[in-house]
Amino acid sequence: TQAPVNVTVTGAAGQIGYALLFRIASGQLLGPDTPVRLRLLEIPQAVKAAEGTALELEDGAFPLLAGTDIFDDAKQAFAGANVALLVGARPRTKGMERGDLLEANGGIFKPQGEAINAGAADDIKVLVVGNPANTNALIAQAHAPDVPAERFTAMTRLDHNRALAQLSKKLGVPVSEIKKLAIWGNHSATQYPDIFHAEVAGKNAAEAVNDQAWLADTFIPTVAKRGAAIIEARGASSAASAASAAIDHVHTWVNGTPEGDWTSAAVVSDGSYGVPEGLISSFPVTARNGKYEIVQGLEIDEFSRARIDASVQELTEERDAVKKLGLI
């Protein structure tokens, strides 16, 4: 039998953590043949709550769960990590400026990047979920110079799944019939969900929709502002859907995308599509042999170009801001 894979989860006592850990333990992150050992990182005040979750994990009697360890020290939590899910972050509170938010998160993601650099396993794969996810991933990556940059990714899979669901409802087709959707740019309200290359039952999705007004005025804002709609309805931010998307992101990374399809993830730009090299931006990506690769050669029309540029501009500004703060 295989040795357990070490999965480190930060923010383990939070609401996403609560939805995520049980799915990891049940084998949905890495597959039904791979045992996992959970390494949970929390701030000292939340360690007790994480211990409570660990008791429940034990009570799940998951055949694939080799054990759960809890830490309040990043160096220990990331030691030997094969997969790291960086969920814990400093949320924006009322009256907080963007600079303050970036600075507070720099205080979290810089030491975590250093800890990953110091002690993670050679095959470490990092997914940043905690917001601002793309820039938090950039900060962590900047402090892990010995880890290949492409191992740091940020999550736009939830946006991708939201776009799939909206398009499926509009066209009355199951999500399984929709291929090649793409989220571009930042995981923020400027993101661009792109259906121009998407296929529905073999037909071009934009042609199947044939409704530019719906696309511009309903589809794009519904996907981009879905997080706010969830908060409004639920009185709390999306948690189970975010956990589900994190499972999807890592599962795809490890197991690959099906032939004839792709997904979306924020990965380090190699300059493709005019996205400045080094930014962690969402692209259409395929996964093969444990690597995400940016889909090349897509034609970008004017409508898409303007939206991609606007979101990438926001990422550039966030990068400039964290540079100015000395965080990268």
Question: Would you please indicate which residues are annotated as catalytic (active-site) residues?
Answer: 187
Q: Is 15 annotated as a binding residue?
A: yes
Nearer to ligand NAI, 200 or 223 (CB): 223
Binding test (CB under 6 A) with ligand NAI, winner from 52, 91, 148, 271: 91
Q: Distance from first CA to last CA of the chain, Å, rounded?
A: 41
Stretch that binds ligand NAI, among 30-38, 168-176, 191-199, 238-246 (CB under 6 A): 238-246
Binding test (CB under 6 A) with ligand NAI, winner from 6, 8, 10, 186: 10
Interaction between residue 264 and ligand NAI (CB under 6 A): no
Interaction between residue 242 and ligand NAI (CB under 6 A): yes
Determine the distance from the C-alpha atom of residue 34 to the mean position of all C-alpha atoms in its chain, rounded to a whole number. 22
- Residue 5's φ and ψ, nearest 5 degrees, are -85, 130
Q: Is 301 exposed, middle or buried (0-12, 13-18, 19+ CB in 10 A)?
A: exposed
* DSSP state at residue 88: -
Two structure tokens written together for 290: 């444990």
Interaction between residue 14 and ligand NAI (CB under 6 A): yes
Q: Is 6 annotated as a binding residue?
A: no
Nearer to ligand NAI, 185 or 206 (CB): 185
Q: Sign of the CA dihedral 137, 140, 142, 145? A: negative
CB neighbour list of residue 121: distance below 8 Å, 6 or more residues apart: 6, 80, 81, 82
Q: Least CB distance from residue 221 to ligand NAI, whole Å? A: 17
CA dist 266 and 163 (Å) reads 16
Question: How many residues line the site for ligand NAI (CB under 6 A)?
Answer: 27
Nearer to ligand NAI, 84 or 108 (CB): 108
Q: Is 142 exposed, middle or buried (0-12, 13-18, 19+ CB in 10 A)?
A: buried
CA dist 133 and 76 (Å) reads 23
Binding pattern for the stretch 70-89 against ligand NAI, x by CB under 6 A and - elsewhere: -----------------xxx
For ligand NAI, the binding residues (CB under 6 A) are: 10-11, 13-17, 41-43, 46, 87-89, 91, 108, 129-131, 133, 155, 158, 187, 237-239, 242
